[in-house]
Chain A
Amino acid sequence: NAGVTQTPKFQVLKTGQSMTLQCAQDMNHEYMSWYRQDPGMGLRLIHYSVGAGITDQGEVPNGYNVSRSTTEDFPLRLLSAAPSQTSVYFCASSYVLAGETQYFGPGTRLLVL
């Protein structure tokens, strides 16, 4: 199993550009989520999904869209990139049960100029 994979590893954007961060998992996990990690802030939840076709907002959803058309994939779209979105983005997945371990992808480092 590849686990949770994310692409790209690194990306540089200009303000106003849009892009999609890809996340895929091959563990048949129902639950997938996106976090961003900033220095001094810890990990913050952006959006999450408890199954195909179901998504919801987390703590910091503004400026991001998600969709979940398949169990395996959970892409994160930046609609119009801003310097405040410079961060490291982690995708995670788990079975939908409280207490289940979440598995993280290796992260995408995004710089918005």
Chain B
Amino acid sequence: RKEVEQDPGPFNVPEGATVAFNCTYSNSASQSFFWYRQDCRKEPKLLMSVYSSGNEDGRFTAQLNRASQYISLLIRDSKLSDSATYLCVVNALNSGYALNFGKGTSLLVTP
């Protein structure tokens, strides 16, 4: 079983819609959680860290449920520029500080 699993999508939503992505992780001892964004043919870039209490950054809200071992990302008022692949990322305790990446969820926001 892969350590980090995501629904690959694609999610096609109209501008202004709210969309949510979920991700599950298998290692209950994982300590750090992130959402990265990757545009087509570009490198991944940090979107936001995910904290136990949940956190918000503008239109983006991340939640962590340690008991169920899942992470979520909510995007409100979607913009065309939000079209990208969203990667759920969890730290790998057995590889130094390396990160385990989900395969990503593809989002396409349409006019």
Which of A's residues lie within 8 Å of B, judged by CB? Answer: 31, 33, 35, 40-45, 48, 50, 56, 58-59, 90, 94, 96-102, 104-107
Contact = CB atoms under 8 A, between A and B. Distances in A.
B45 interface: yes
Nearest to A100: B97
A40 B96 contact: no
B97 A96 contact: yes
The size class of the interface chain B forms with chain A is 20 to 34
Contact of B44 (A44, A48, A56, A90): A90
A98 B91 contact: yes
Contacts of B42: 106-107
Interface of B: 31-32, 34, 42-46, 49, 87, 91-92, 95-99, 101-104
A104 B43 contact: yes
A59 B97 CA distance: 13
A41 B98 contact: no
Contacts of A31: 96-97
